[in-house]
Amino acid sequence: MLKAKPNATLRKQDGEYSGKRLTTSRNLKNNHLQKALLFGALLTALSFLAACNKDEDKKAEGNLTLKMRVWNNYETPAVKGSNARFILPFVDVIGYKYEMKVTTDVIQEGTREQEVNWITIYTSDELKGDSERDFQFQLPAGEYKAFSLLQSRGFFWVGDYNGTNIQIPAWNGSTGVFEDRICNVFANELFVLNTSGVYESVNNGEQIGAAFRIEEGKTTSVIIRTNFTSIEWSDNDENGIWSEGDSAGEPIVPEGITTMADFIVTYY
């Protein structure tokens, strides 16, 4: 009787085991390749999404330049006042301008302050002339419909008296503490913010027109021009400066002008 050779059986078994190991090795390699391809595809997708999000986050912007001027130093050079009548041409306004804001939202009677998406473009706690407040600000592109100005209740008209600046005290609204804050909002008309945080229309018929637009990569110039030109000053003690006992009339506007201020907008 023939007997099986143990070595042959071992070799056969070795071959079977070797074959199984080869098959397993190939499967592992295929799995690794599939995982690598899947991981690479996932990284590509994530990179694409990140790039998309970055593009979305980067909003189109343009540049705003803003200046505040009185009529004379915007329209024409200041003219010397008459010594006989003491008519002082305005050359500046001195006061506190605590904050300036703009919005693309519509302001109307009864709008609450918290409902408006304001963008703050300027803050200050300095007492100085409006002509010293020129600034620039980058704004998102869009149509801006209102301008908010938080300023002091008290201020000074600055008039030119034969080369000398005369500071005449004045008030926004009623008299009070000079540094008290008052908020005016210029939109299609003039609004004030009451103590309840609600905008109220000042029904004086003014159509100021504060709207402007910001375009991507371009500059919008806004000059807020005060339309008062001059004031009559009575130097009662004849000392040539404003002092206690002096008096002044109402500010004078040019003939045909019906607004106290205008927004002069230029696009570049």
Whether the model clears a pTM of 0.75, i.e. scores above it, the answer is no
Would you say 251 and 227 are in contact if contact means Cβ atoms under 8 Å apart? no
Model confidence pLDDT, tens digit, residues 137-189: 999 999 999 999 999 999 999 999 888 899 999 998 888 899 999 999 999 88
CA distances (Å), origin 239, targets 189, 236, 244: 42, 8, 11
Residue 137's H or E segment, with its range, is strand 135-140
Alpha carbon distance 136, 88 (integer Å): 31
CB-based contacts of 250: which residues, under 8 Å, 6+ apart? 231
Q: Are 68 and 33 members of one domain?
A: no
Look up the domain containing 110 and give its range.
61-267
Q: Are 46 and 110 members of one domain?
A: no
- Give the single-character DSSP code of 112: B
Q: Mean pLDDT score of the chain, rounded to an integer?
A: 79
Percent of the chain whose pLDDT exceeds 90: 48
Model confidence pLDDT, tens digit, residues 79-106: 434 443 588 999 999 999 999 999 999 9
Model confidence pLDDT, tens digit, residues 11-56: 434 443 334 443 444 444 445 445 444 444 444 444 444 445 545 5
Q: Are 13 and 130 members of one domain?
A: no
Q: Are 17 and 71 members of one domain?
A: no
Burial class (CB in 10 A: 0-12, 13-18, 19+), 239: exposed
